[in-house]
A and B are shown apart, each in its own frame.
Chain A
């Protein structure tokens, strides 16, 4: 795939818009929100990224990547027009059908907004299928918020409620959102579990506390959906790296309900 556009979201996160090199490929390709892919910089390696764009937007995909290691550093050094290797889509996806007619509460932290974004736009592009939508998103600081332009877009929309927060100390004089960790703000905002599905994604420690908070708010484990991240290599259920318990995150995930998570050994 070729890089068509690069957006610098934060000092260490970039979003790449990718298009297939071969014209015809785009017609054969489809994916669902929640799935992931493997991007290659030949010579550096391959790494796993969720597809952050919505399947309703055809012709391209977007991946957001944080610069944390060898491959992500190499990806950050790429320029518009550079060619990358692509494998995918892999994994399972968010259960869109089961979400129809319900209130949706998206809870994201940091770069965790990336997989959620795919689902959010998927839902917004079919807005009538869903009831109330709330997006709760936070990051360490204002600079670390991703998709800043889209946050403004969502803020302006009347058909969803956007709640933004930064960690204590991450605010400045201009900040008009909440101040506090995402799980705490979730409890503060206290969305009702009535006819609702809560979808969360973020750093493992945030997810842990969000799951606890959702439980406190009365969400049953079947009403809460999250994504698991494990180190991956093959993406095909062969190399064993992403094996936790009886599942392979690359095949049985990365999307799981909290009910499923509860049955897994606690090592993710």
Chain B
């Protein structure tokens, strides 16, 4: 782009003033908050609402762009005519505050599927009306592996503004996008000059956080193996313990498949879009035919879609290494273990 990204510093008080200021300007601000034993994104009044130590929210931010359920249209069947009314309303200006870089990184990946051919206005209008303010990680989780996919605990993909903690009461602020730069103009007094030692510290914090990520996958060769091994005994082996729930799919930021259902009666009701998952048999079940009749075939679809089909179709791998799938799987399926096994096969010369 040629344009230099602007950098400033922000105090902890400044962070709070930023949230207040955005709220005063009519933005709904959502940030991670403790709720029912989990960290979830909820309406936030001030920076002190944010949990002091946490790695990431239980659910990703995808629900702000693709809600778990939303009405598409409502219908009313009268004697003379059927009336339908699209439910979509202008999205309210929203700020997602304290998003981890891995979660923000999912946005440029999944934007592609929602913007190709017929553009999904519901998703895209929310994208347009939402500001992403990221908070870099200092304490990655044991399940995190963003670095293996080329991302970073202080990465900038998908962020409008990235805040990296560089001291107890100081953040390094990077205005990654035009939208982010708008914050610089809108709140000129909040920002302090970033000194060379601030910049140095920012790099150090990132390097330290990266160093804490122990989970590592070599991605070399995986795509090639997937291209050639649609049929392979490995699929049955790695998915045998899978019980076919949707937990990893629904918590995964890049999983975006959905179902469309009518709710109501024959006179009045709503047509809804709801999250769905290829782990369920009903996903491909047709009256006379079931192309994916066993869990191993459905599990294969998960891996293939993320690491092969999406790449071929849209470019990026549909995974950001947030590690939620590993955290949440009730039966201990580990995506990085699976990728490592594939990689091993990909790079072991064939015998005979």
Chain A residues near B (Cβ < 8 Å)? 40-46, 66, 68-69, 83, 85, 203-204, 229-231, 233-234, 236-241, 243-246, 251, 265-268
Contacts and interface: CB of A to CB of B under 8 A. Distances in A.
A230 B82 contact: no
A230 B266 contact: no
A240 B257 contact: yes
Given A42-B82, A46-B262, A234-B258, 9 more contacts: A42-B264, A43-B265, A43-B267, A203-B289, A234-B260, A240-B258, A241-B284, A266-B231, A267-B291
Contacts of A267: 291-292, 297, 301
B75 A239 contact: no
B312 A246 contact: yes
B257 A68 contact: no
Q: Identify the interface centre among A43, A45, A246: most chain B CB within 10 Å of its CB.
A: A43
A237 B75 contact: no
A137 B77 CA distance: 40
B114 interface: yes
B4 interface: no
Contacts of B276: 239, 241
A42 B257 contact: no
B212 interface: no
27 contacts: A42-B77, A42-B266, A42-B271, A43-B75, A46-B271, A85-B84, A203-B288, A229-B289, A231-B285, A231-B286, A234-B258, A234-B260, A237-B113, A238-B118, A238-B120, A239-B258, A239-B260, A240-B258, A240-B278, A241-B276, A245-B304, A246-B309, A246-B313, A265-B230, A265-B304, A266-B230, A267-B292
A251 B117 contact: yes
Contacts of B266: 41-44
Contacts of B259: 233, 239, 241
Interface in B299-319: 301, 304-305, 308-309, 312-313
A243 B309 contact: yes
Interface residues of B, number: 45
Given A83-B82, A267-B297, A268-B291, A236 B118 contact: yes
A103 to B, nearest CB: 31
Q: Identify the interface centre among A40, A229, A233, A238: most chain B CB within 10 Å of its CB.
A: A238
Contacts of B117: 236-237, 251
B53 to A, nearest CB: 36
Contact of A245 (B81, B271, B283, B309): B309
B291 A230 contact: yes
B258 A42 contact: no
Nearest to A110: B288
Contact of A241 (B77, B257, B289): B257
A229 B77 CA distance: 31
B309 to A, nearest CB: 5
Sort A-B residue pairs by CB-CB distance and give the 3 closest, nearest first.
Answer: A240-B257, A68-B287, A42-B75
Interface in B240-270: 256-262, 264-267, 269
Q: Identify the interface centre among A66, A240, A251, A265: most chain B CB within 10 Å of its CB.
A: A240
A241 B305 CA distance: 11
Contacts, number: 101
A268 B283 CA distance: 13
B208 to A, nearest CB: 38
Q: Identify the interface centre among B262, B269, B285, B288: most chain A CB within 10 Å of its CB.
A: B262
Contacts of A44: 262, 266
A43 B269 contact: yes
Contacts of B231: 266
A46 B260 contact: yes
A268 B84 CA distance: 34
A235 to B, nearest CB: 9
A45 B264 CA distance: 10
A237 B116 contact: yes
Contacts of B271: 42, 46
A245 B308 CA distance: 8
Nearest to B311: A246
A144 B127 CA distance: 51
Contacts of A244: 291
Interface string B56-97: 000000000000000000010100011010000000000000
Contacts of B291: 230, 244, 267-268
B262 A45 contact: yes
Contacts of B283: 231, 241
B305 A240 contact: yes
A268 B297 CA distance: 12
Contacts of A268: 291
Contacts of A40: 262
Contacts of B287: 66, 68-69
A11 to B, nearest CB: 15
A111 to B, nearest CB: 10
A68 B114 CA distance: 31
Nearest to A237: B117
A160 to B, nearest CB: 29
Q: Identify the interface centre among A45, A230, A239, A244: most chain B CB within 10 Å of its CB.
A: A239
